[in-house]
Structure formats: C-alpha cells, structure tokens
Amino acid sequence: MIVHAAGESSPGNLPHDTYAVVLAVPNEAALAREADRLQAAGVELVRVHEPDRNDELMALGLRPARKGALRRLLSQLPLLR
C-alpha cells in the first residue's frame, strides 16, 4: 500500500533528488485523523483505500513538498520500521 500511495500522490516528472519517507500510525482511525488534520492545514494528499477490506483506509500519499513545510506537521509520527 505504501508504494500505491506514493504513486497515486505523485504528479510525475519529479526531481531526481525526490525521496519518500514512510511514517507509521497505530490504526485506521489514527490514519483518518491524520488525513483530516493534514488537509485542514492545506496539505494535498490522496487517501488510499483497500476495496477488498471493506474500503478500509490503508495509506496516505502526500504530494511532494519542501521538507521544512511538512516537517512541522509530521514530526510527531514515527518512521515505519
């Protein structure tokens, strides 16, 4: 789902130095809250749902942006390990 979210959110033709960061949340409800919070802050994102699992929210793909602009909004989320 991570790769799918990244692909869905990419506008294409990304600069060669673009990279992905994968962050974690504990469950679907937390993911939905993060999506709402980010959208309220003006972050463009794509919600990726899994149709085979009752349309469960599985991932968010954020449009590429300057690292500093997103860092303050995402710094509380741990890296996926």
| DSSP, residue by residue, 25-47 | -SSHHHHHHHHHHHHHTT--EEE
Number of separate domains in the chain? 1
Regions of the chain short of the pLDDT cut 50: none
9 falls within a domain: yes
Judge whether 35 lies within some domain.
yes
pLDDT at 31: 97
Rounded to whole angstroms, the Cα distance separating 29 from 6 reads 20
What pLDDT, on a 0 to 100 scale, did the predictor assign at position 4?
62
Which residues constitute the domain of residue 50?
A: 2-74
45 forms beta bridges with 62
Does residue 47 sit within a domain? yes
Average pLDDT, the chain: 86
Model pTM score: 0.81
Provide the b/e sequence for 40-74 (b: ≥16 CB within 10 Å).
eeebebbbbeeeeeeeebbbbbbebeeeeebeebe
23 domain-assigned: yes
